[in-house]
Chain A
Amino acid sequence: MSDTPLLQLRNITKTFGSVQALTDVDFEVRAGEVMALVGDNGAGKTTLVKCIAGTHSADHGQILFEGNEVHIHGPKDAARLGIEVVYQDLALCDNLDVVQNMYLGREVNRAQILSEAPMEQHTAETLKTLAVTTIKSVRQTVATLSGGQRQSVAVARAVMWNSKLVVLDEPTAALGVAQTEQVLELVRRLGHQGLGVLLISHNLHDVFETADRITVLRLGRNVGVFDRRKTTQQSVVEAITAGVPTKVAGISSTAGAGAAT
């Protein structure tokens, strides 16, 4: 792990009218780690992600990507930096096959005529490197895939474009036990491959299965960053429900910081 975080947010504040969605939030994701972002409903998780994805821009604060200050004004800016977001509702086209979905909107073409061969080959390779082996044929339509396989396709699509940071919004929300396991395995593997992964989840079990570190938001404030190996679900739950805002910037000052009550 390098010393410069892949993504660093400093003092991010965002208000919607009179609602203070985020207050002075510091946050970071390092390359090669899975950072989980947890918090109750309305804690500001989605708003924070939207600031990173460029859907919203923060009122105050700085965003640093690979140590340089950046301004993300839209999904295209985010994509250019190497940030890909996999949304909860997948955003796949059921009627198209795996290859067609992987290249949706970015088809390889020569004078508008599709070049299927390189697309198919690269899709197969990407799925192979991610060890997504349950998909029988990359020419199956997505409608015939299981929930876990679809999520794998969505994640693989995000990874394929030389992305450096993959943001996963509730990737296991609608999945069964086996399929959840399948997706979590994939998430872990992304971290091993040196990508930064930001995992948003309600499910602490999933978080403890995959994350290296856990950031807890409560009422729009960062109330603690936990090292998964040095904490318990109990302390994270306490932080989620009753955490007190602390100014945190890294692991050192954090372990158990949320357990103030």
Chain B
Amino acid sequence: MSSADVVGADNAPPPPLEEEQLPGGFRGARDRMWLNVRTGNLGSIPIIVGELAVVIFFAFSATNFFTSVNFVNLITETAGTALLAYGVVFVLLLGEIDLSIGYVAGIGAVIVAELQLPGRNLQMNGLLAILIAVAVCAVIGALQGSIVAFVGVPSFVVTLGGFLIFEGVILNVLQQRGSIVIQDRWINYTDLYIFSPAAGWIIAAIFTALYPLSVLYKKIVARGTEIAQQSWTSAILKTIGIGIAAFGTVAICNHGKIIETPEGLPLAGVIMVFFFVVLTFLSKWTTFGRHVYAVGGNAEAARRAGINVPRIRVIVFAISGAMAAIGGIVFAAQVNSVGLTFPPGNLLLNAIASAVIGGVSLFGGRGEVRGALLGALLIGTLQNGLLLLNVSNGWIYIITGLVLLGAVTLDTVAVRLQARSGR
């Protein structure tokens, strides 16, 4: 009988919480991090290291990679994929899959393109068109989710059906015209609007402030209780890290110039980070988010605990559809049009790969929105750099595939390590 398995005597004091066993301060933070690494709890470390390695590699090998202009390009190219990948995270958290998002993104783009066409009764403000497109795609997602939730058809099949159906719809709509040019400035702004340098700094400050504010809120709520709290050191270190990322991004963007036009922080990047914040909040701070994780972890347990499982499934697929539409609109704005080649090549697979590289499990219940952002950035950087190196499309696919494989292998090994160390 090992002592760990025996119930303590009635009045025995509870053992100290794990967090407190390690010393505070920088040494404590370092020890904790090392403990995590040893036990396979790697978190976002591998992907951030990978991203840095890729950036350094291209900085030395690709001539135009390490320029402000390319940096802005990289952000606008990545934004669309990241937006789709956020939706994928929620679907994967349930242990489901959504294969339709590529063409749902296309539907979203076609809707805004149709609604902004001049010289028609339908023509309307671009912002209204965007709202309608997102709403329609959310309904499309909800319908697919309903078939999964209420009828019990596997999501793979339902959304594979959706994949074909929406591809067909897009083909039919665009057949005669070939492509629709988007002239509405609001729609095009989603990708192309550039903030002034000052506005960029303010936005960086706002996003940097969010994390310390959330830590502060938690500390205030936990005041006077025995709840284990995050140490000030780790909070400050993380805030500094986020600050460097945010202000660094704005600094690089503001630095650029295309001929005589100054560059700046692109709206696409702000949209990307905005939805990252909103969806992280939704998944981690709300009852709904908690229930998503519960259903993905053990749907039967969730049902017995009184959670309305079908409702959660329907809402998650609606989120997936809505995010696909937003991402699709950003992509369409990038080229000011929607054509028969939309969605761009491997959008669906890039979005799913982003989430998976970011550590979201395909079996449900494990992963974070943050993973999708980091994964999309890694894939975006890779593809951007390889294009600058004039690498053929074939090799870009092969390398992206190898990175996906490597990331998932590392994750699987880490999870096994975690299981062995009993954490």
* A contact residues vs B (CB 8 Å cutoff): 75-76, 87, 89-96, 100, 104-107, 109, 112-117, 120-121, 124, 127-128, 131-134, 136-137, 139-140, 143-144, 146, 148, 176-179, 181-182, 185-186
Indicate if the CB atoms of B298 and A93 lie closer than 8 Å: yes
Q: How far is the CB of B263 from chain A (nearest CB, A)?
A: 38
Indicate if the CB atoms of A177 and B1 lie closer than 8 Å: yes
5 further contact pairs, Cβ within 8 A, besides A75-B304, A89-B300, A104-B307: A91-B298, A93-B293, A95-B298, A104-B294, A148-B5
**Is B10 among interface residues, defined by CB-CB distance under 8 A?**
yes
The 9 closest A-B pairs by CB, nearest first: A105-B305, A93-B297, A133-B8, A95-B365, A95-B297, A178-B5, A105-B306, A104-B305, A91-B301
Q: How far is the CB of A112 from chain B (nearest CB, A)?
A: 5
Which A residues are in CB contact (< 8 Å) with B49?
A: none
- In the complex, the number of residue pairs spanning A and B with C-beta atoms less than 8 Å apart equals 131
Q: Known: A117-B221, A133-B14, A136-B15. Is A181-B301 also a contact (CB below 8 A)?
A: no
Indicate if the CB atoms of B2 and A178 lie closer than 8 Å: yes
* B contact residues vs A (CB 8 Å cutoff): 1-2, 4-10, 12, 14-15, 17-19, 218, 221-222, 225-228, 285-288, 290-291, 293-294, 296-298, 300-302, 304-307, 365-366, 419, 422-423
Indicate if the CB atoms of B285 and A179 lie closer than 8 Å: no
Which of B7, B304, B306 has most chain A Cβ within 10 Å? B7
Indicate if the CB atoms of A134 and B4 lie closer than 8 Å: yes
A60 to B292, alpha carbons, bound, how many Å? 41
Which B residues are in CB contact (< 8 Å) with A181?
A: 1, 6-7
Which A residues are in CB contact (< 8 Å) with B2?
A: 178
Indicate if the CB atoms of B5 and A182 lie closer than 8 Å: yes
Which B residues are in CB contact (< 8 Å) with A146?
A: 4-5
A148 to B6, alpha carbons, bound, how many Å? 9
Partner of A112, one of B5, B19, B286: B286
Indicate if the CB atoms of A114 and B5 lie closer than 8 Å: no
Indicate if the CB atoms of B301 and A179 lie closer than 8 Å: no
Indicate if the CB atoms of B304 and A91 lie closer than 8 Å: yes
Which A residues are in CB contact (< 8 Å) with B18?
A: 136-137, 139-140
Which B residues are in CB contact (< 8 Å) with A132?
A: 7
A25 to B248, alpha carbons, bound, how many Å? 75
A151 to B304, alpha carbons, bound, how many Å? 16
A99 to B221, alpha carbons, bound, how many Å? 16
Which B residues are in CB contact (< 8 Å) with A178?
A: 1-2, 5-6
Indicate if the CB atoms of A117 and B225 lie closer than 8 Å: yes
Which B residues are in CB contact (< 8 Å) with A182?
A: 5-7
Q: How far is the CB of B258 from chain A (nearest CB, A)?
A: 43
Partner of A179, one of B5, B305, B365: B5
- List 11 A-B residue pairs with CB atoms under 8 Å apart, sorted by A's residue number: A90-B301, A93-B293, A94-B297, A105-B302, A112-B286, A112-B288, A120-B225, A124-B14, A144-B422, A176-B5, A179-B5
Partner of A131, one of B7, B225, B307: B7
A112 to B290, alpha carbons, bound, how many Å? 10
Indicate if the CB atoms of B297 and A134 lie closer than 8 Å: no
Q: How far is the CB of A229 from chain B (nearest CB, A)?
A: 23
Which B residues are in CB contact (< 8 Å) with A76?
A: 306
Closest-by-CB residue of A relative to B1 is A178
Indicate if the CB atoms of A136 and B287 lie closer than 8 Å: no
A105 to B7, alpha carbons, bound, how many Å? 28
Indicate if the CB atoms of A105 and B366 lie closer than 8 Å: no
Q: How far is the CB of B43 from chain A (nearest CB, A)?
A: 14
Indicate if the CB atoms of B5 and A137 lie closer than 8 Å: no
Closest-by-CB residue of B relative to A90 is B301
Q: How far is the CB of B188 from chain A (nearest CB, A)?
A: 35
